[in-house]
Amino acid sequence: MGSGMLGQPDAETGDITRGELQLATRNHGMPLEALRHDITPVGLHYLLIHYDIPAVDPAAWRLELGGTVRRALTLSLEDLRARPAVTVPVTMECAGNGRAGMSPRTLSQPWLLEAVGTAEWTGTPLAALLEDAGPADGSVEVVFTGDDRGIEGGTEQLYERSLTLEQARRSEVLLAYGVNGAPLPAQHGFPLRLLVPGWYGMTSVKWLRRITVVDEPFTGYQQTRAYRYRQRSEDTGEPVTRMAPRSLMVPPGIPDFFSRRRYLPAGPCLLEGRAWSGWGPITTVEFSDDAGATWQPAAVEAARGRHAWQRWSLRWQPAEPGERQLCCRATDAAGNTQPAEPGWNLGGYSNNAVHRVDVTVRAASRRG
Ligand SMILES: Nc1nc2c(c(=O)[nH]1)N[C@H]1C(S)=C(S)[C@@H](COP(=O)(O)O)O[C@H]1N2
Ligand SMILES: [Mo]
Q: Which residues contact 316 (CB under 8 A, 6 or more apart)?
A: 268, 269, 270, 271, 287, 289, 326
- The Cα-based distances of 11 to 90, 103, 294 in angstroms read 38, 10, 35
Whether 286 is in the pocket of ligand 1, judged by its Cβ within 6 Å, is no
Strand 182-183 and strand 299-300: the pairing is unpaired
Check whether 366 has a pLDDT greater than 70.
no
* CATH number of the domain that residue 153 is part of: 3.90.420.10
Q: Do 68 and 116 have their domain in common? A: yes
Of the pLDDT bands very low, low, confident and very high (cuts 50, 70, 90), residue 106 is confident
Q: What's the confidence (pLDDT) of residue 16?
A: 87
Residue nearest to atom 19 of ligand 1 (CA): 47
Domain boundary among the residues 239, 254, 279 is at 239
Q: Is 70 part of a structural domain of the chain?
A: yes
Of the pLDDT bands very low, low, confident and very high (cuts 50, 70, 90), residue 3 is very low
Q: Is 253 part of a structural domain of the chain?
A: yes
Q: Is 172 part of a structural domain of the chain?
A: yes
Q: Do 278 and 219 have their domain in common? A: no
For the chain, give the percent of residues with pLDDT over 90. Answer: 92
Q: Is 68 part of a structural domain of the chain?
A: yes
Q: Which residues contact 148 (CB under 8 A, 6 or more apart)?
A: 49, 50, 51, 52, 53, 54, 158, 159, 206, 207
* CATH number of the domain that residue 262 is part of: 2.60.40.650
* Pocket residue to mutate for ligand 1, from 202, 209, 211, 225, most atoms within 8 A of Cβ: 202
Whether 161 is in the pocket of ligand 1, judged by its Cβ within 6 Å, is no
Q: Do 180 and 254 have their domain in common? A: no
Structural domain range at position 66? 18-239
Counted domains in the chain = 2
Q: Do 174 and 107 have their domain in common? A: yes
Whether 75 is in the pocket of ligand 1, judged by its Cβ within 6 Å, is no
Residue nearest to atom 23 of ligand 1 (CA): 202
Domain boundary among the residues 188, 204, 239 is at 239
Q: Do 132 and 175 have their domain in common? A: yes
Whether 48 is in the pocket of ligand 1, judged by its Cβ within 6 Å, is yes
Q: Do 165 and 203 have their domain in common? A: yes
Q: Do 83 and 212 have their domain in common? A: yes
Lowest-confidence segment of 77-91, 98-112, 171-185 by average pLDDT? 98-112
Q: Do 197 and 270 have their domain in common? A: no
Residue nearest to atom 24 of ligand 1 (CA): 205
CA proximity to 36, closest of 46, 28, 44, 26: 44
Mean pLDDT, the chain, integer: 95
Whether 205 is in the pocket of ligand 1, judged by its Cβ within 6 Å, is yes
Whether 208 is in the pocket of ligand 1, judged by its Cβ within 6 Å, is no
